[in-house]
Amino acid sequence: MLPAEQLAPAPDSPALDLLEGIRVLDLTTSIAGPYASLLLADLGAEVLKIERPGRGDDARAWGPPFLDGESLWFLSVNRNKHSVTLDYAQAAGLEALHALVKAADVILINQVGRSQKKLGIDYARLRHINPRLVHVSITGFGLEGAKADQPCYDLIAEGYSGVMDLTGESPERDPQKVGTPAADLLSGADAAMAAMAALIDRNRTGRGHEIDIAMVESMTRFMTPRIVPYLGSGELPRRSGGTDSVIAIYRTFYTADHPITLGLGNDAIWKRFCEAIGRPDMAQDQRFADNAGRRAFRPEIVQEIQAILLTKPRVHWLDLFAGARIPAGPINSLDQVVTDPTLTERGLFYAPRRNGVPVPQVGLGIRFDGNHHTHRKDPPRLGEDTRHAFATWLGWDDDAIRKLDDAGLL
């Protein structure tokens, strides 16, 4: 039985509608752009996902694993959208796209600037069609600069930003990528946030905007808490397996069976921790009275804590620390994450059924007035909404749509 079979069905209560009435054209593929439009769709925007006829989004081919003939990577970031197939590299197809642009509020694009101009989808062209349009570009290095035309994936952005250099056990061991497409998700979230800010300003001024999101900049900004201390101190951090935190005790520890995380972020938590483990003498030791002192003696303190935690299993320590309000937690594998009561009771995971097959989803995880429900539509099959979209957005009849279809543009 698939793990998805154990998930609750999609909620049948009203979904969030904060962006109701906002129309979004999503011309992007892969993860970053589709994640941006997923966030906008979850909040109530109507998203037309414009895809290449016969091929669609690159992520549709990313597998295995597949589920019911669809890539699970694709299914993870494409709910609540309408799939429209359209070859806008051809003149008649571009004319149809421009008609949709005129009716849109936001357009998302992940082509470099040179390709945008070639295809007729750059901001300079589209703002003349729709002066109120919010035009959002997500590229590797931005729309300007020496690297503006360079292709980029999450992996390249992670390496470029420094996060890979600091991820891993030690300088002698290989640098490591983050275990999820962090640059994609961060730049996608930036794009959604920027689009919403631009919409607020547009509604005040009537003026559209061009938004330029560079994946390497989104990922580099993620490194702010490491970059600023380096710039202000000259101390170059190196990968250490997460043992070099500015907080003296903020790391993983082994117990008698499974590892845990432990974060003693201030003096009051440090004192409660020492009492909880039966070592009040450590709390009274003036050498350890503040974080700077604890950092100076970190190896000694870590050794003492590690020896104590090895005497009992994880569940003992986590229960003890929870009772003492000490920040600690398990290191979960994904099978444990999706069955964790803290997450499941809040409805973060669910699975609508399509053709009798459960399609697993991770919810928005943000509540507005207690409501976190977002599901309106399953991730779309390629082109399933083409006719409906042209009819509802543009009022086109069957004959007009048939002409595009007969020309091989849909």
Can you give the CATH number for the domain in which 170 is found? 3.40.50.10540
Characterize 78-106 residue by residue with b for buried, 16 or more Cβ atoms within 10 angstroms of its Cβ, and e for exposed: bbbbbbbbbbbeeeebbebbbebbeebbb
* Claim to verify: residue 46 and residue 110 sit in the same structural domain: yes
* Claim to verify: residue 300 and residue 365 sit in the same structural domain: no
The DSSP secondary-structure symbol of 244 reads: -
Per-residue pLDDT at 129: 98
- Residue 74 domain-assigned (yes or no): yes
The residues assigned a catalytic role are 184
In angstroms, rounded to a whole number, what is the distance separating the alpha carbons of residues 37 and 24?
8
What are the pLDDT tens digits along the chain (410 aa)? 899 999 999 988 899 999 999 999 999 999 999 999 999 999 999 999 999 999 999 999 999 999 999 999 999 999 999 999 999 999 999 999 999 999 999 999 999 999 999 999 999 999 999 999 999 999 999 999 999 999 999 999 999 999 999 999 999 999 999 999 999 999 999 999 999 999 999 999 999 999 999 999 999 999 999 999 999 999 999 999 989 999 999 999 999 999 999 999 999 999 999 999 999 999 999 999 999 999 999 999 999 999 999 999 999 999 999 999 999 999 999 999 999 999 999 999 999 999 899 999 999 999 999 999 999 999 999 999 999 999 999 999 999 999 999 999 99
* Claim to verify: residue 257 and residue 366 sit in the same structural domain: no
* Claim to verify: residue 218 and residue 112 sit in the same structural domain: yes
* Claim to verify: residue 160 and residue 273 sit in the same structural domain: no
* Claim to verify: residue 113 and residue 40 sit in the same structural domain: yes
CATH code of the domain containing 269: 3.30.1540.10
In angstroms, rounded to a whole number, what is the distance separating the alpha carbons of residues 97 and 110?
16
- Residue 8 domain-assigned (yes or no): yes
Examine the fold and report which residue of 282, 306, 336 is the final residue of a domain before the chain moves on: 336
> What's the whole-model pTM score?
0.95
* Claim to verify: residue 361 and residue 309 sit in the same structural domain: no
**Count of the separate structural domains present in the chain:** 2
Per-residue pLDDT at 1: 84
Please state the φ and ψ torsions of residue 247, each to the nearest 5 degrees. -80, 130
CB 17 within 8 Å of CB 170? no
Per-residue pLDDT at 380: 97
In angstroms, rounded to a whole number, what is the distance separating the alpha carbons of residues 67 and 15?
25
- Residue 241 domain-assigned (yes or no): no
Burial of 299 from C-beta contacts in 10 A (0-12 / 13-18 / 19+): exposed
In angstroms, rounded to a whole number, what is the distance separating the alpha carbons of residues 246 and 232?
14
- Residue 59 domain-assigned (yes or no): yes
Range of the domain at 54: 3-222+352-406
The DSSP secondary-structure symbol of 381 reads: P
In angstroms, rounded to a whole number, what is the distance separating the alpha carbons of residues 77 and 366?
16
Examine the fold and report which residue of 336, 368, 395 is the final residue of a domain before the chain moves on: 336
* Claim to verify: residue 159 and residue 269 sit in the same structural domain: no
* Claim to verify: residue 144 and residue 205 sit in the same structural domain: yes
Per-residue pLDDT at 160: 96
- Omega prior to 341 cis, within 30 of 0: no
* Claim to verify: residue 206 and residue 258 sit in the same structural domain: no
